[in-house]
Amino acid sequence: MAITYFERERVFRLDTPHTTYLLGLVDQEGFLGQIYYGPRLPEGETLRALLRLEERPVPPSADPRERASFYDSFPFAYPAHGGGDFRTPCLSVQTAGGGCNCELFYESHCISAGKPPLEGLPAAYGGKDGCATLEITCADPALGLRVHLRYTVFSDSDAICQSALVENGGEEPIVLTAALSACLHLDDMDFDCITLPGSWAREREIVRRRLVKGRTGAESLRGISSHQANPFLALCEHTATQERGRAYGMAFVYSGNFLAQAELDQYGKVRSVMGIHPEGFGWQLLPGERFQTPEAVLVCSDEGLGGMSRAFHDLFRTHLIRGQAKRRPALLNSWEACYFDFDHDKLLELGRQAAASGIELLVVDDGWFGHRNDETTSLGDWTVNEEKLPGGLVRLGEELGAMGVSLGLWVEPEMISPDSDLYRAHPDYAMAIPGRVPTLARNQYVLDLTRKEVRDCVYEQIAAVLREAPITYVKWDMNRPLIDVYSPSLPPERQGEVYHRYVLGLYEMQERLVTDFPEILLENCCSGGGRFDAGMLYYSPQIWTSDNAEAMDRLAIQEATALVYPYSAMGAHVACCPSHTNGRVTPFLTRGGAALPGCFGYELDLGELTEEERSQIPLQLAEYRMFGPVFREGDYYRLASFRDNGYYDALMAVTKDRSLAVVDYTQVRSRANLRSLRLPLRGLEETARYRCQGSGEVRTGAGWMLGGALLEAVQADFYNQLVVLERID
């Protein structure tokens, strides 16, 4: 088994295929500390000396006067507030008497095959043969509080999943004012910190900065993981590149407020924590009650940032995303084609254009329900507008089906319009603080998903539509942050639970959807990429990456997204030109090349294309069907970033058996005196021979990786080409 307890050394050892994680028990009291996380160690190695127990400050049993100093430097596996540890804690409590100290000591542990699910939460999964879980129970005897720390390792992934289950075993209520999911301690390394901040249409910009004394990281307090931040943080050697150097990554399997923080302390040690953001959080635990934190995923790579990315991709594709085997149809979305201005005939014409081009799915976006002809009305009234669509979605779906095109549908189940029948009947369903005017955003309010009757009302409306019409795809959107966060269903002392209960309600609704309609492909969306996180991937195998589908901007957005999430999760479309988000004009072929690695589609009126552009669609679809699986299922390598070099961009995917490789190259800017570009490749089998499909040139894998592929000089901006290598022996 990949988890071992060394009783004499009092050390827990967790092994993945290429890494080792060590925890150790200290002193009679049972302090639990992290010893090591890094490349896999020889069998039996425990490195207990790295706890530095002979150095001052020594454990309290050796010198009681050192207790506070010991707390301030010890690498606690799950640090609690109080006792003298002044770094960011994972656990903070307030007792009925107003006290806020908490100290955790080892009580017991168990090691088991498999991985238990987290009730009501998305989490990685695995069978008894594929993973093992260590559960360490720590307790605060004075409070009657227990924390069950869970660590899971997988036989086929270099990732470790961590979470905590907090249990009130005392006789008084306790309020959790912080309950984070994971803690990582590192030292003796010159680190950079990488986060993915952004904004609407500019999601997930890679920001890499030197780690200095103090705290840095990413956070969201918007009720969603947000456009402005992503629940991910990486620490890497200052000299680390895509191929070389040590890199650590933390990703949060959660879709609400979060904190991802790295803290460099007075001793040059790093504490990195991840979990639900403590601000605005307060969870009351009555005697006997439990609170389960969401899961965090930790990755360590000695093959640079690329190795870290591939480890996350493998874990998410194999142990988190469900429905991964579903074929991803090439689609046409109606939004940029006609916005709200459509009727049955217009949609049918889009369907004819799709069928003629070989597109498999037409998605009817916003505007099909209630009396919605703009963004001011009808959210919450999920009945078909038969003035626009006579015969409803049933007729439309049948007529499209006769053409060989299936029907998809956009919904926004979390929102309600003031101008809606639902709001007129139930204004209390919208989040609002008593005595205050509720805050509109995009002319809508947020539904109180903490309440079961609200969830049931909206879900049953949408489910009725899905049961009646031949829908094969649903795009679930969410278009504003949470404001006026209050629920009348909870007493005053529990209002700090609303943010998290909202997310739990969201998860319950999406779990119902994928359970009741397993044949439907669900894509999540949040004003584009505002909730692109691992929690959403548990329910939907793909997420709309950004409302900005302009090709050059998308190269950067998709590069940053791929630092953590696989291309199989990225909705990527060929959109209108000039771009509706930035006005840029790019060739149709290049727009296809930028979208190819993701879940491919079109978001425009095919009837407005030129004959030359329409003629390129069959080629793009053929490439998507042939090479899309390589990008979605194979190993990802970032060869070049125009964000860094200012001129060109290149990514590469290689099948797991190393038989086929595809390079997607884009020359963003041309240069004077341009010569062919030598682009070293990655991930090939060194001694195998590969033929380039275009030129017919044959080399060994080592020859392609060391010598590089030569890309011809083309005097043009926004030029895209594919390089395909096939193993021939």
The 3-class SS string of 14-27 reads EECCCEEEEEEEEC
Domain end: 561, 594, 629, which one? 629
pLDDT in tens, 373-427: 999 999 999 999 999 999 999 999 999 999 999 999 999 999 999 999 999 999 9
494 pLDDT exceeds 80?
A: yes
Residue 505 belongs to a domain with what CATH number? 3.20.20.70
Is residue 123 included in any domain, yes or no?
A: yes
Whether residues 302 and 394 fall in one domain = no
Whether residues 183 and 239 fall in one domain = yes
CA torsion 432-438-444-448 (nearest 10°) is 0
Q: What is the pLDDT confidence band of residue 29, given thresholds at 50, 70 and 90?
A: very high
**pLDDT in the model for residue 1:** 61
**pLDDT in the model for residue 325:** 60
Residue 567 burial (CB count, 10 A): 27
SS3 590: helix
Angle in degrees, CA 151, 40, 294, rounded to 5: 20
Helices (H), 368-497: 392-403, 421-425, 452-468
Q: What is the pLDDT confidence band of residue 62, given thresholds at 50, 70 and 90?
A: confident
DSSP per position, 359-395: --EEEE-S-SBTT-SSTTB-TT--SB-TTTSTTHHHH
SS3 267: coil
**Can you give the length of the chain in residues?**
729
**pLDDT in the model for residue 597:** 97
Q: What is the pLDDT confidence band of residue 61, given thresholds at 50, 70 and 90?
A: confident
Number of domains in the chain: 3
Residue 706 belongs to a domain with what CATH number? 2.60.40.1180
Whether residues 278 and 210 fall in one domain = yes
pLDDT in tens, 122-157: 999 998 889 999 999 999 999 999 999 999 999 999
Whether residues 624 and 658 fall in one domain = no
Q: Are strands 331-333 and 361-364 parallel, antiparallel or unpaired?
A: parallel
Whether residues 170 and 192 fall in one domain = yes
The predicted model gives 181-206 an average pLDDT of 95
Is residue 720 included in any domain, yes or no?
A: yes
Distances (CA, A) of 718 to 592, 593, 595, 672, 715: 11, 10, 14, 15, 10
d(CA 719, CA 729): 32
d(CA 193, CA 239): 12
**Residue 32, token pair as written in the block:** 């639990």
d(CA 333, CA 348): 13
The predicted model gives 222-239 an average pLDDT of 98
d(CA 26, CA 47): 14
d(CA 506, CA 514): 13
Is residue 634 included in any domain, yes or no?
A: no
Whether residues 311 and 337 fall in one domain = no
**CB burial of residue 194 (10 Å; 0-12, 13-18, 19+):** buried
Domain end: 629, 650, 676, which one? 629
pLDDT in tens, 466-477: 999 999 999 999
Cβ contact 19:300 at 8 Å: yes
**What phi and psi values does residue 616 have, to the nearest 5 degrees?**
-85, -15
Is residue 248 included in any domain, yes or no?
A: yes
266 pLDDT exceeds 70?
A: yes
pLDDT in tens, 314-353: 999 999 999 766 789 999 999 999 999 999 999 999 999 9
Whether residues 66 and 205 fall in one domain = yes
**pLDDT in the model for residue 60:** 87
DSSP letter at 359 equals -
Give the domain extent around 404.
331-629
**What phi and psi values does residue 110 have, to the nearest 5 degrees?**
-145, 150
Q: pTM for this structure?
A: 0.97
Smallest CA-to-CA distance from 282 within 118, 438, 492, 139 is with 492
d(CA 52, CA 69): 14
Q: What is the 3-state secondary structure (H, E, C) of 659-695?
A: CEEEEEEEECCCCCCCCCEEECCCCCCCCCEEEECCC
Q: Are strands 361-364 and 406-411 parallel, antiparallel or unpaired?
A: parallel
Whether residues 528 and 506 fall in one domain = yes
**pLDDT in the model for residue 674:** 87
d(CA 144, CA 131): 32
In b/e form, how buried is each residue of 80-109, taking b as 16+ CB within 10 angstroms? bbbbbbebbbbbbbbbeeeeeebbbebbeb
Helices (H), 17-117: 67-71
Cβ contact 535:253 at 8 Å: yes
pLDDT in tens, 550-568: 999 999 999 999 999 999 9
CA torsion 487-515-152-258 (nearest 10°) is -30
Whether residues 514 and 655 fall in one domain = no
Could you tell me which residues are beta bridge partners of residue 419?
Answer: 377
The predicted model gives 638-667 an average pLDDT of 96
Task: Please provide the distance, in angstroms rounded to a whole number, between the alpha carbons at the two ends of the chain.
Answer: 37
SS3 422: helix
CB under 8 Å to 583, separation ≥6 — which residues? none
Whether residues 531 and 573 fall in one domain = yes
What amino acid positions are annotated as catalytic residues?
Answer: 477, 547
Q: What is the pLDDT confidence band of residue 247, given thresholds at 50, 70 and 90?
A: very high
Rg (CA), the chain: 27
Whether residues 720 and 592 fall in one domain = no
SS3 475: strand
d(CA 379, CA 370): 8
The predicted model gives 526-547 an average pLDDT of 98
Is residue 159 included in any domain, yes or no?
A: yes
d(CA 182, CA 242): 25
Domain end: 629, 660, 682, which one? 629
- Please report how the helices 588-595 and 611-633 are oriented relative to each other, as an axis angle in degrees rounded to 10: 20
DSSP per position, 516-552: H-TTSEEEE-BTTBTT-SHHHHTT-SEEE--S---HH
Residue 291 belongs to a domain with what CATH number? 2.70.98.60
Is residue 158 included in any domain, yes or no?
A: yes
**pLDDT in the model for residue 326:** 74
Is residue 324 included in any domain, yes or no?
A: no
d(CA 344, CA 391): 9
Whether residues 454 and 577 fall in one domain = yes
pLDDT in tens, 678-690: 999 999 999 999 9
DSSP letter at 377 equals B
Could you tell me which residues are beta bridge partners of residue 653?
Answer: 636, 662
Cβ contact 218:230 at 8 Å: yes
Instruction: Report the mean per-residue pLDDT for the chain.
Output: 96
d(CA 672, CA 513): 55
d(CA 540, CA 536): 6
Is residue 403 included in any domain, yes or no?
A: yes
